[in-house]
Chain A
């Protein structure tokens, strides 16, 4: 080892200390090993999922042929798409509103916007179960509309996160830029579109990404709001895990993990690693 070490370890170079490297390595192993094993075993040609029997795509074919699973995934992606869209608009509006204007009860509004973040998921889920039952929200509508109850629930817990992210981005806005634009004759709308919006963009992208993953990820709230007709991917996987652990679940999970990695990669491409890291 000493041959490779070009210079002594400086006191602050904790990352070059062996025990620190081992600690980080062990943590990453702990975080990733289950996922990697799961992905490898989705190609395993064995029902019991324990011993490696050979390479196969069988379970991917099975998962893709499983209509209810594909339907659940489509539902999840549709919900995530609409939830992201709406929570982006609502979140950005809320952020600009709280940042820009002064109005009565501002403190109350500010506090209650962060409430959906603090209130436990289970309580929100229960609240929607009772709420939608109480107001007799129509069920059994045509395809995208039957997802409306779940989408509404998702928007409600996603948009505060968007508002939070966008607002922290707005904090770094230089108001003089806006004043300069107005001095130079820009209208209110032009200033918003050409000055404020470009500044908000990284926050909006990060917020959208956060909303999309939160919505795609959510199990508990959906579990309470969904009916037999509106199964989402996590709810479907849950029932599959509950009843029997099959390689099909591995295959479907691998697809979703790959989707997450691709989304992250896209975000990285657009933003750079650093910007993404800073948002969190």
Chain B
């Protein structure tokens, strides 16, 4: 029964999209599957390639920031006193369960021109200006609210905000399985915290880090909501372009081609990841 369901409601719809990607618009509501490669040719135009590369760069940056922020958090949870640990974990998991749209909206209200993020920055600015007058210098110019929303910065911040729990949980799972006596041994033998981190913890937690990277990178690459709501005109990601083909531009075959290109990209990422996982085993 699950196979039947999967074929009917997953494989078939995907196959239809795949066929559509070789089709062309024959009328306002008519699509002929003619086996044309025109859609894929159009997708290689610089406009689309650049958006694709940009999406890739943004999601890689987001993943990197999540990793840098999330790793110490996962470490802290792993080595927290046992009665704290579940609550810290819950603290990370609760936002993960909260509606994505609501979280994005919450971040937006905070970052608006009159939001608290701007007020805090304004206060800091005022403080700096006051300090300067204190040492006898000219005060800074009056604070003008920064445009925090509707630009690339907002998209990256929003994606980090949304995906951070995705990164922390697998990292924690990996670190938790780690044999703690190895770390103790390393420290006892005189290695510094940093070199223990580099030479013991990182290699052992490698699979967990890879899992966290995948779990963050894949949804970030296909993100639609955050760039749509928080981004400006120049911060579109590939998902937004796909959406536009279906809703506004009404060019379904081209949209189908783009979405299959995105799926292929995902497969390549997943394949690269499993290749990397396979390599050390062969070396041993």
Contacts and interface: CB of A to CB of B under 8 A. Distances in A.
A91 B183 CA distance: 39
A118 B218 contact: yes
A88 B256 CA distance: 31
Contacts of B5: 90, 155-156, 159
Nearest to B91: A28
A219 B101 contact: yes
A237 B88 contact: no
Given A122-B259, A219-B225, A27 B99 contact: no
Interface string B203-225: 00000000000000011011011
B187 interface: yes
B47 interface: no
B6 A113 contact: yes
Interface stretch (B37-45, B78-86, B125-133, B275-283): B78-86
A50 interface: yes
B92 A234 contact: no
Interface string B1-16: 1110110011111101
B154 interface: no
Interface in B213-247: 218-219, 221-222, 224-225, 229, 239, 242-243, 246
A134 interface: yes
A256 B99 CA distance: 8
Given A130-B16, A130-B252, A273-B87, A115 B106 contact: no
Contacts of B70: 27
A163 B10 CA distance: 16
B102 interface: yes
Contacts of A277: 85-86, 89-90, 93
A192 interface: no
B59 to A, nearest CB: 11
* Chain A interface SS verdict (over half): helix
Contact of B105 (A12, A217, A220, A249): A249
A3 interface: no
* Chain B interface SS verdict (over half): helix
A70 interface: no
A257 B221 contact: no
B256 A130 contact: yes
A196 interface: no
Given A15-B80, A126-B17, A241 B105 contact: yes
Given A20-B72, A129-B246, A159-B5, A123 B106 contact: no
Contacts of A35: 95, 98, 102-103, 106
Contacts of A37: 106, 109-110, 116
Closest 8 A/B residue pairs (Cβ): A120-B222, A273-B86, A131-B13, A34-B106, A94-B2, A127-B13, A38-B106, A122-B239
Given A11-B187, A156-B10, A256-B98, 8 more contacts: A35-B102, A38-B109, A120-B262, A220-B225, A237-B105, A245-B112, A250-B109, A260-B99
23 contacts: A12-B187, A14-B79, A15-B84, A24-B76, A38-B105, A93-B1, A97-B2, A122-B224, A122-B262, A123-B260, A126-B242, A126-B246, A126-B255, A127-B16, A130-B17, A134-B16, A155-B9, A217-B100, A219-B225, A237-B105, A241-B105, A257-B102, A264-B94
Interface of B: 1-3, 5-6, 9-14, 16-17, 20, 69-70, 72-73, 75-77, 79-81, 84-103, 105-110, 112, 114-116, 161, 164-165, 169, 173, 180, 183-184, 187, 193, 218-219, 221-222, 224-225, 229, 239, 242-243, 246, 252, 255-256, 259-260, 262-263, 266-267, 270
